[in-house]
A and B are shown apart, each in its own frame.
Chain A
Amino acid sequence: MAFAYLIAAAFGGVAWGILGGALPGISPSITMALLLPFTYGMDSTVAVVLLASTYVGAEYGGSIPAILIGTPGTNAAAATVIDGYEMKRQGKAGEALGISLYSGFVGGLFGLIVLVLLTERLSSVALAFTPPSYFALGILGLSVIASLSGDSLLKGLIAGVMGLMVATIGTDPVTGLNRFTFGSPDLLSGIPPILVMVGIFAVSEMLVQTNAPDWEKATHESARIRFPTPAVWKRIAKPQAIGSFIGAFEGMVPGAGGSISSFLAYNEARRWSRHSDEFGHGSPEGVAAPEAANNTVACTALVPMLSLGIPSSNSAAVLLGGFLMHELVPGPMLFVQHGEVVRGLYEGLFVANVAMLIIGYVIMGPCIWLVSRPKPYLMAFIYALVVSGVYAFQANLFNVGVALAFGVVGYALRYFKVPFLPMVLGVVLGFMVESNYRRALVLSNGDLTTFVRNPISAGLLATALMVLAASLLRQAKGRGDAR
Chain B
Amino acid sequence: MNRDLVFGVATLAIALVYYALTSTIPPSQLADPIGPQGLPRMYSLVLAALSILLIVRSLRSHANREPRISEPKISDRRTSEPANYLATARVAGMLLLGIAYIVMLPYLGYLISVAVLIALTTYLQRGPLNLRTAVVALSGAALFWALFIWLLRIQYPAGLWPSLI
Chain A residues engaging chain B, CB cutoff 8 angstroms: 38, 154-155, 157-158, 161-162, 164-165, 168, 172, 174-175, 177-180, 203, 206-207, 209-211, 374-377, 379-381, 383-385, 387-388, 391-392, 395, 397, 400-401, 404, 407-408, 411, 415-418, 434, 437-438, 441-442, 445-446
Q: Which residues of A contact B137 (CB under 8 A)?
A: 380
Q: Which residues of B contact A411 (CB under 8 A)?
A: 91
- When C-beta atoms are compared, the residue in chain B nearest to A381 turns out to be B140
A174, B53: Cβ atoms under 8 Å? no
How many residues of chain B have a CB within 8 Å of chain A? 65
Choose from A203, A209, A387, A418 the contact partner of B117 (Cβ within 8 Å).
A387
B95, A408: Cβ atoms under 8 Å? yes
A189 → chain B closest CB, angstroms: 16
A383, B94: Cβ atoms under 8 Å? yes
Contact with A along B7-41 (1 / 0, CB 8 A): 10001001000100100011010111111101110
A180, B21: Cβ atoms under 8 Å? yes
| B105 close to A (CB within 8 Å) | yes
B18, A154: Cβ atoms under 8 Å? no
- When C-beta atoms are compared, the residue in chain B nearest to A439 turns out to be B32
Q: Beyond A210-B94, A395-B156, list 15 extra A-B contacts (CB 8 Å).
A: A158-B51, A161-B47, A172-B25, A174-B32, A177-B26, A203-B98, A210-B126, A375-B125, A375-B127, A380-B140, A381-B118, A392-B152, A401-B99, A407-B98, A417-B3
A206, B140: Cβ atoms under 8 Å? no
| B102 close to A (CB within 8 Å) | yes
B36, A177: Cβ atoms under 8 Å? yes
Q: Tell me, in angstroms, the Cα distance from A155 to B102 when the chains sit together.
A: 33
Contact with A along B91-114 (1 / 0, CB 8 A): 100110011011001100010001
Choose from B6, B36, B87 the contact partner of A416 (Cβ within 8 Å).
B6
Q: Tell me, in angstroms, the Cα distance from A43 to B138 when the chains sit together.
A: 33
Check A157/B50 contact, CB under 8 A, given A175-B28, A180-B21, A417-B3: yes
A395, B90: Cβ atoms under 8 Å? no
A387, B98: Cβ atoms under 8 Å? yes
| B62 close to A (CB within 8 Å) | no
Q: Which residues of A contact B125 (CB under 8 A)?
A: 209-210, 375-376, 379-380
B34, A161: Cβ atoms under 8 Å? no
Q: Which residues of A contact B106 (CB under 8 A)?
A: 397
A404, B25: Cβ atoms under 8 Å? no
9 contacts between A and B (CB under 8 A): A161-B50, A178-B25, A206-B94, A384-B144, A388-B147, A391-B156, A438-B38, A441-B33, A445-B33
Q: Tell me, in angstroms, the Cα distance from A69 to B158 when the chains sit together.
A: 43
- When C-beta atoms are compared, the residue in chain A nearest to B53 turns out to be A154
Q: Secondary structure at chain B's binding surface: helix, strand, loop or mixed? A: helix
| B136 close to A (CB within 8 Å) | yes
Q: Which residues of B contact A180 (CB under 8 A)?
A: 21, 25, 40
Chain B residues engaging chain A, CB cutoff 8 angstroms: 3-4, 6-7, 11, 14, 18, 21, 25-26, 28, 30-36, 38-40, 43-44, 46-47, 50-51, 53-54, 57, 87, 90-91, 94-95, 98-99, 101-102, 105-106, 110, 114, 117-119, 121-127, 133, 136-137, 140-141, 144, 147-148, 152, 154-156
B10 → chain A closest CB, angstroms: 8
A446, B33: Cβ atoms under 8 Å? yes
Q: Tell me, in angstroms, the Cα distance from A177 to B25 when the chains sit together.
A: 8
Q: Tell me, in angstroms, the Cα distance from A415 to B6 when the chains sit together.
A: 11
Q: Tell me, in angstroms, the Cα distance from A302 to B114 when the chains sit together.
A: 36
Q: Which residues of B contact A379 (CB under 8 A)?
A: 121-122, 125
User: By CB atoms of chain A within 10 A, which of B7, B36, B137, B147 has the most?
Assistant: B36
Q: Tell me, in angstroms, the Cα distance from A86 to B31 when the chains sit together.
A: 68
A438, B32: Cβ atoms under 8 Å? yes
- When C-beta atoms are compared, the residue in chain B nearest to A169 turns out to be B40
Choose from A175, A385, A404, A437 the contact partner of B95 (Cβ within 8 Å).
A404
Q: Tell me, in angstroms, the Cα distance from A411 to B88 when the chains sit together.
A: 12
- When C-beta atoms are compared, the residue in chain B nearest to A207 turns out to be B91
Q: Tell me, in angstroms, the Cα distance from A364 to B144 when the chains sit together.
A: 24
A397, B121: Cβ atoms under 8 Å? no
A-B pairs, top 7 by smallest CB distance, nearest first, are: A376-B127, A376-B125, A446-B33, A380-B121, A175-B28, A416-B7, A172-B36
Q: Which residues of A contact B121 (CB under 8 A)?
A: 376, 379-380, 383-384
B18, A38: Cβ atoms under 8 Å? no
B32 → chain A closest CB, angstroms: 5
Q: Tell me, in angstroms, the Cα distance from A438 to B31 when the chains sit together.
A: 11
A398 → chain B closest CB, angstroms: 9
Q: Which residues of A contact B110 (CB under 8 A)?
A: 388
A388, B148: Cβ atoms under 8 Å? yes
Check A400/B102 contact, CB under 8 A, given A154-B50, A154-B53, A407-B95: yes
Q: Which residues of A contact B127 (CB under 8 A)?
A: 374-377, 380
B140 → chain A closest CB, angstroms: 6
Q: Which residues of A contact B119 (CB under 8 A)?
A: 380
Q: Which residues of A contact B123 (CB under 8 A)?
A: 376
B61 → chain A closest CB, angstroms: 12
User: By CB atoms of chain A within 10 A, which of B35, B57, B119 has the most?
Assistant: B35
Q: Which residues of A contact B94 (CB under 8 A)?
A: 206-207, 210, 383
Q: Which residues of B contact A408 (CB under 8 A)?
A: 95
Q: Tell me, in angstroms, the Cα distance from A164 to B140 when the chains sit together.
A: 38
Q: Which residues of B contact A175 (CB under 8 A)?
A: 28, 30, 32, 35-36
A211, B6: Cβ atoms under 8 Å? no
Q: Which residues of A contact B7 (CB under 8 A)?
A: 155, 158, 416, 418
A377, B122: Cβ atoms under 8 Å? yes
B39, A437: Cβ atoms under 8 Å? yes
A138 → chain B closest CB, angstroms: 12
Choose from B33, B114, B126 the contact partner of A388 (Cβ within 8 Å).
B114
Check A165/B95 contact, CB under 8 A, given A380-B140, A395-B155: no
- When C-beta atoms are compared, the residue in chain A nearest to B110 turns out to be A388
B33, A154: Cβ atoms under 8 Å? no
Q: Which residues of B contact A210 (CB under 8 A)?
A: 87, 90-91, 94, 124-126
